[in-house]
A and B are shown apart, each in its own frame.
Chain A
Amino acid sequence: MDWDPKQISDRELLECLRPHQGSPEDPLAEELQKRLAAHPELVSLWQEVQQCDGDLARLLQAIPPRRGLEERILSRLKSELEGMSRTGSEGSPTLDTAEAEAGHAGQAFCGEGMNPRRRMSRRAWVAAGVSAICASVLGGLGLWLWRNQKRTKPLSSVEIANEVARIFEQTLDQFGTGQSFNSNPPPARARFSREIRLYLGSTITWRRVTVMANTAVVFDITQPSGERGSLFVLNVKLPDFPSFPPYFPQLQTSRTSLGWWCESDTAYLLAVLGGPRVYQRFLKPPSPIT
């Protein structure tokens, strides 16, 4: 025990102990009972503390429920799990492999604890040392090769969308600080999408960002209503992007709604501050079916 119950002050005992917690064997509960018996005035003070704690606990729990929270969490989990299962075949741990690894780790731990330690001969020590050195060299070489190799795996929509959502939220202080769309046109390869709905008084600026090692042009759009959104344009071909903007955002965080699509060899990701309704106001209404 790193403390002496007698050194704990009255106030600390009164503040930290609850009547229903602390068994009779608890040295602090015993100490509190002694002090309450010796100083009856502390009894009423302790009752006041309990009353006050009850009120505070009740107030702290009184928070209105967050609407749609469960749906958004499940949607994000699904996106993440899709991403994990895509990368899982290339060596990243999935839930199943993580569980399996955890099981093996547990077995290894138990095995070490259960078995008596064997004495190793000098030859075994030398062999182990050489093996360790070889493993380190090979590991280092592998790591160097891995870090220097070009990324050949195609980017997935979920990976890009998560990255774009992160960039959008983390660079909100740079929103609208780029170059004017009218006076300084963007590079010809970064075409503004015809699917974006603009109103009289909408303002657009553009800037460059890097999205997963790809240079992207971002159009920051402020609608006359004050609603803000950014259109990320990447000149990459992404096979799993749809060929038209989805009417409902495919990814939602607490602040942002995000949808993505592809037009020929250009990928577009629209991130807006707000929910699905705000997102929909940034898109042209779907054409009638003829």
Chain B
Amino acid sequence: MAEGSVPPLIEQLVTRYAQDVYRYAYRLTGSAADAEDLTQETFLAAVKNIHQLANPELARSWLFTIVRNQFLVRHRRSKGMVAHPLGDQAEEIMALDSGDDEVDGELIQNALNALSDDQRVILLMFYFEQASYREIAEQLGIPIGTVMSRLSRAKEALRKKVLAVTRQDSDH
């Protein structure tokens, strides 16, 4: 590698996946500036650990893992997961489904920001990475039963927040 030059593989990763990583980082952090910093740090970490990328076809999920870990290292809170009481699930799902045209990206972000870091990470792995409950358990190193309960609570919490903001908006 020439001194100071960016390796071609890294350049390709930046060109192809920088915006994907940025979108993920944006949903994690909730702000464009923090998301860009996190994206830059992700690619810095990628350069230092490029030898770990055995299969370039898996680069996207590898970068997502880095951005998630970077976020957790920076923002890990000492307190544990926030438990939310179980509510009437069917009613909430129907309500959100009927009004989804009014739900925009900013509203979703506000709802995400109101969740704990752990809940946000697990939700984004499910929705953004399309990870299965098994993959989430493996990546985060927690039991499958714990993933099931945390994920269902996080989804319920997100729906509640989205619904609350939607209702506030419609009241105004």
A95-B48 contact, Cβ under 8 Å, with A59-B108, A69-B22: yes
A72–B40 CB distance below 8 A: yes
Chain B residues near A16 (CB-CB < 8 A): 133, 147-148, 151-152
User: Which residue on chain B has the smallest CB distance to residue A3?
Assistant: B145
A56–B158 CB distance below 8 A: yes
Chain A residues near B165 (CB-CB < 8 A): none
How many A-B pairs have beta carbons closer than 8 Å: the answer is 150
Instruction: Tell me, rounded to whole Å, the shortest Cβ–Cβ distance linking A91 to chain B.
Output: 16
Residue in contact with B32 in the complex, picked from A59, A66, A72, CB distance below 8 Å = A66
Chain B residues near A69 (CB-CB < 8 A): 18-19, 22, 36, 39
B89–A11 CB distance below 8 A: yes
Which chain B residues (31-47) contact chain A, with CB distance < 8 Å?
32-37, 39-40, 43-44, 47
0/1 per residue, B49-87, Cβ < 8 Å to A?
011100000000000000000000000000000000010
A2-B132 contact, Cβ under 8 Å, with A63-B105, A66-B32: no
Instruction: Tell me, rounded to whole Å, the shortest Cβ–Cβ distance linking B21 to chain A.
Output: 9
Complex alpha-carbon distance, A2 and B134, angstroms: 13
Would you call A213 an interface residue if the criterion is a C-beta within 8 Å of the partner chain's C-beta atoms?
no
B26–A63 CB distance below 8 A: yes
0/1 per residue, A14-49, Cβ < 8 Å to B?
111110011000001000000000000000010011
Chain A residues near B96 (CB-CB < 8 A): 52, 55
The stretch among A79-87, A110-118, A221-229, A259-267 that forms the contact with chain B is A79-87
A60–B6 CB distance below 8 A: no
Instruction: Tell me, rounded to whole Å, the shortest Cβ–Cβ distance linking A89 to chain B.
Output: 10
A56–B108 CB distance below 8 A: yes
Complex alpha-carbon distance, A37 and B133, angstroms: 22
Residue in contact with B36 in the complex, picked from A9, A13, A55, A72, CB distance below 8 Å = A72
Instruction: Tell me, rounded to whole Å, the shortest Cβ–Cβ distance linking B107 to chain A.
Output: 8
Residue in contact with B133 in the complex, picked from A9, A17, A56, A99, CB distance below 8 Å = A17
- Interface bracket on A: 35 or more
Would you call B140 an interface residue if the criterion is a C-beta within 8 Å of the partner chain's C-beta atoms?
no
Would you call B10 an interface residue if the criterion is a C-beta within 8 Å of the partner chain's C-beta atoms?
yes
A76–B48 CB distance below 8 A: no
A70–B32 CB distance below 8 A: no
A61–B108 CB distance below 8 A: no
Residue in contact with B105 in the complex, picked from A62, A66, A80, A255, CB distance below 8 Å = A62
Residue in contact with A48 in the complex, picked from B52, B93, B156, CB distance below 8 Å = B93
Chain B residues near A65 (CB-CB < 8 A): 19, 22
A22–B36 CB distance below 8 A: no
Complex alpha-carbon distance, A17 and B147, angstroms: 12
B145–A18 CB distance below 8 A: no
Residue in contact with A21 in the complex, picked from B1, B34, B132, CB distance below 8 Å = B132
Chain B residues near A63 (CB-CB < 8 A): 22-23, 26-27, 105
User: Which residue on chain B has the smallest CB distance to residue A85?
Assistant: B3
Residue in contact with B155 in the complex, picked from A15, A21, A61, A72, CB distance below 8 Å = A15
Would you call A53 an interface residue if the criterion is a C-beta within 8 Å of the partner chain's C-beta atoms?
yes
B128–A73 CB distance below 8 A: no
B145–A76 CB distance below 8 A: no
A59–B103 CB distance below 8 A: yes
Instruction: Tell me, rounded to whole Å, the shortest Cβ–Cβ distance linking A84 to chain B.
Output: 9
Chain A residues near B90 (CB-CB < 8 A): 45, 48
0/1 per residue, B126-158, Cβ < 8 Å to A?
011010110000000001110111011001101
Question: Contact residues of B with A, CB < 8 Å?
Answer: 1, 3-7, 10-11, 14-15, 18-19, 22-23, 26-27, 32-37, 39-40, 43-44, 47-48, 50-52, 86, 89-90, 93-94, 96-97, 100, 103-105, 108, 124, 127-128, 130, 132-133, 143-145, 147-149, 151-152, 155-156, 158-159
In the complex, given contacts A3-B143, A78-B5, A254-B36, what are 4 additional A-B residue pairs having Cβ atoms less than 8 angstroms apart?
A48-B97, A51-B97, A63-B22, A80-B47
> 9 closest pairs, A vs B, by CB?
A3-B145, A254-B36, A82-B4, A15-B152, A85-B3, A12-B148, A254-B33, A57-B127, A99-B51
Q: List 7 A-B contacts (CB under 8 A).
A: A16-B151, A45-B90, A48-B94, A55-B97, A55-B100, A56-B127, A254-B33
